Chain A
Amino acid sequence: MADALGASVASGLEARSEAELTRLVAEVERALGVEVDALAHDRRGLLPRRLLDSVRQLGLFGASIPAEHGGLGLELVETCRIIATVARHDRSLATCVGLHNGLGATPLVSLGDDAQKRAWLPRLASGEVLASFAATEVGAGSDLSSVATTYDGALRVRGEKQYVTNGALAGLVTVLARARDERGGYALLTVPLPQDEVSIGAEERKLGLRASSTTSLAFEDARADALLGERGGGLHHAYTALAVGRTVLSAGCVGTAERALDATLEHVTRRRQFRRAIGEFGASRTHVSAMAARLYAMEAVVDEVARHPAHGALGAASVVAKVFCSEGAYEITDRALQLHGAMGVLEDVGISLLARDCRVTRIFEGANDVLLVHLGSEVLARGPSPRCHTQRRGPHAERWETAAGVLEATRERVKASLGVRAVERQDCLQALARAYIGLVASSCVLARADAEPELAELACSIGVDESLTQLASLHRAGSRVELERALTDELYACGRRWRWPASPAPRAPRKHIAA
């Protein structure tokens, strides 16, 4: 089957029509449907070697790598389709393959010189060598500028990285480090593994994505193979790679959400309570339609962002996709779990695995809270206006235009009242970011709304309503922020000794004294 798929992949690349890609996806779907037992992988906490061999044979490790270096040469949007398909079967496997193709391979593909590419890309494409990306440290989580890992003039790397996906599987890791000299600029370096100067930590035991490898990597003057791009450009290149990584992660969210909807539809149409299939109850229909609408919007967002990957400093579009899809997938899996009732909490049913896997993605590759603050500051300072991706007029487009106008007016009001000090109001930045995300998502939905008008109506209104709700919340934000500050100051001062103030004891009923 793998050989047949390889042939179909090769032919698909010659004329990558939508139909060809759909056929490729179907082939991958069929192959993984036979091989993958996500629950077993989750229990064992690793991906079987035989499964990784199958993925190698399918050519999936070469999805994003140019054909001239032995890969499939897929565009980002096509790679995303593949990763979503893998995620439908096993999110841990999708994380491994997605990280390799996204954060792992992207810096080498876009920054490597010819010699570096010839040395590594064919081996990455075949899956002989798996790629990884190491930026996070104990003291540098979402704040990459704080990295303490350094390199010297001989490209010897010293420091320790944490939460490295594919850490125990990788044969090549791209490391973000600072120059160990007076200037101290940042750079990305490729470090081959294994080598005696790199210690791989134990596998982390995680809430979800348990079968994907996550370890620490300690570098003791480890030998780097090369410096990618120019000296001093490391942070910029890391952010660019992260933008690709976040988009691929978002595609994985789509795949898991699709799986959750599949399972839910099967369950609610078969399971009977009170002499009816539970899907017939209005409360169930609310859940199911919300799941479908959100999924529709998630697919639209990933499709739009992946077709036009943002390679700016922050990659605002990829932040929109990451936040929207990781929160959407978690909402969808949570609704799926609720509709499954008590069965949902049983691990062997598989729904709780989907929810656990999705929960992790609200934190990985940039915690959503931090991403929202960054995006909000961009919206406030640079004022990127969400673009409506359709020329079609109608009630949805009109509502969208109204909400976009409210965002613009709110942004100006905040700037006028707070000036540059608005950046200290994280609640304000996050609300602006969420409003922006809602509008972008609705815009993406409007662009593909012709085919499924009912779904589009629901999905579009979700985004516009969210946007307007967030902007309205800013009108009463000031007093709420003061209350939050006062309460948290008090709680932080108490620490673990915190307790609610004792309520006054209820008075004993007054005895009736007989005259």
Chain B
Amino acid sequence: MKNETAEERRTLVRETIAELLEVDVATVRGDCLLREDLGMDSLTSLELLSTLSRELQVDLEMEEAMEIVTVDDTVRFVERHLAV
């Protein structure tokens, strides 16, 4: 999984968010605010990271989940952990 391209990882993040929230993936744009636009609360944010952690086989810190604001933030957060 760690060998996926950046674009594939971006798609995975958007698809995971869409699946969690049961919305059309087309509505999950990079600049969408997770809370205000998509209605994610702290629990759903953690569920998102948990799913990504499993899919990408990477350990993610839950404290940092609270700092993620947009969809693009989530992608960058994952990239940062994959680079470690």
**Is chain B found bound to chain A in the same assembly?**
yes
Q: Which residue of chain B lies nearest to A312 when distances are taken between CB atoms in the complex?
A: B42
Assess the A145–B39 pair: CB atoms within 8 A: yes
- Check if B82 is an interface residue, CB within 8 A of chain A: no
Q: Closest CB-CB distance, A308 to chain B, in whole Å?
A: 21
- Check if A380 is an interface residue, CB within 8 A of chain B: yes
- Check if B19 is an interface residue, CB within 8 A of chain A: no
Assess the A381–B46 pair: CB atoms within 8 A: yes
Q: In the assembly, what is the distance between CA of A204 and CA of B33, in Å?
A: 37
Assess the B21–A419 pair: CB atoms within 8 A: no
- Check if A138 is an interface residue, CB within 8 A of chain B: no
Interface size class of B (residues with CB under 8 A): 20 to 34
Q: Closest CB-CB distance, A360 to chain B, in whole Å?
A: 24
Assess the B46–A377 pair: CB atoms within 8 A: yes
Number of A-B contacts (CB under 8 A): 79
Q: In the assembly, what is the distance between CA of A39 and CA of B54, in Å?
A: 55
- Check if B8 is an interface residue, CB within 8 A of chain A: no
**Interfacial chain B residues near A380, Cβ < 8 Å:** 62
**Interfacial chain B residues near A374, Cβ < 8 Å:** 41-43
- Check if A314 is an interface residue, CB within 8 A of chain B: yes
Q: Which of B27, B35, B42 contacts A378 (CB 8 A)?
A: B42
Assess the A232–B33 pair: CB atoms within 8 A: yes
Interface of chain B residues 5 through 54 with chain A (CB within 8 A) = 21-22, 27, 33, 35-44, 46-47, 49-50, 53-54
**Interfacial chain B residues near A156, Cβ < 8 Å:** none
Q: How many A residues, CB 8 Å from partner?
A: 28
Q: In the assembly, what is the distance between CA of A233 and CA of B33, in Å?
A: 11
- Check if A343 is an interface residue, CB within 8 A of chain B: no
Assess the A420–B61 pair: CB atoms within 8 A: yes
Q: In the assembly, what is the distance between CA of A144 and CA of B38, in Å?
A: 11
Assess the B41–A423 pair: CB atoms within 8 A: no
Q: Closest CB-CB distance, A135 to chain B, in whole Å?
A: 12
- Check if B69 is an interface residue, CB within 8 A of chain A: no
Which of B22, B35, B44, B53 is most buried by chain A, counting CB atoms within 10 A of its CB? B35
Q: Which of B21, B36, B38, B65 contacts A381 (CB 8 A)?
A: B65
Q: In the assembly, what is the distance between CA of A373 and CA of B46, in Å?
A: 12
Assess the A236–B36 pair: CB atoms within 8 A: yes
Q: Closest CB-CB distance, B84 to chain A, in whole Å?
A: 14
**Interfacial chain A residues near B79, Cβ < 8 Å:** none
Interface of chain A residues 411 through 469 with chain B (CB within 8 A) = 415, 419-424
**Assuming the A-B contacts A420-B53, A423-B46, are A185 and B37 also in contact, with contact meaning beta carbons closer than 8 angstroms in the complex?**
yes
Which of A419, A421, A424 is most buried by chain B, counting CB atoms within 10 A of its CB? A421
Q: Which residue of chain B lies nearest to A421 when distances are taken between CB atoms in the complex?
A: B50
**Assuming the A-B contacts A232-B33, A420-B61, are A377 and B43 also in contact, with contact meaning beta carbons closer than 8 angstroms in the complex?**
yes
Q: Closest CB-CB distance, B35 to chain A, in whole Å?
A: 7
Interface of chain A residues 366 through 389 with chain B (CB within 8 A) = 373-374, 377-378, 380-382
Q: Closest CB-CB distance, A381 to chain B, in whole Å?
A: 5
Assess the A313–B41 pair: CB atoms within 8 A: yes
Q: Which of B35, B43, B53, B62 contacts A415 (CB 8 A)?
A: B62
- Check if A164 is an interface residue, CB within 8 A of chain B: no
Q: Which of A144, A232, A314, A423 contacts B36 (CB 8 A)?
A: A232
Extra contacts besides A314-B41, A382-B42, A419-B61 (13): CB < 8 Å: A144-B39, A145-B39, A146-B21, A186-B39, A235-B36, A239-B41, A374-B42, A377-B42, A381-B42, A381-B62, A420-B46, A422-B62, A423-B43
Q: List 10 A-B contacts (CB under 8 A).
A: A145-B21, A146-B22, A232-B36, A313-B42, A314-B42, A377-B42, A381-B46, A420-B61, A423-B49, A424-B50
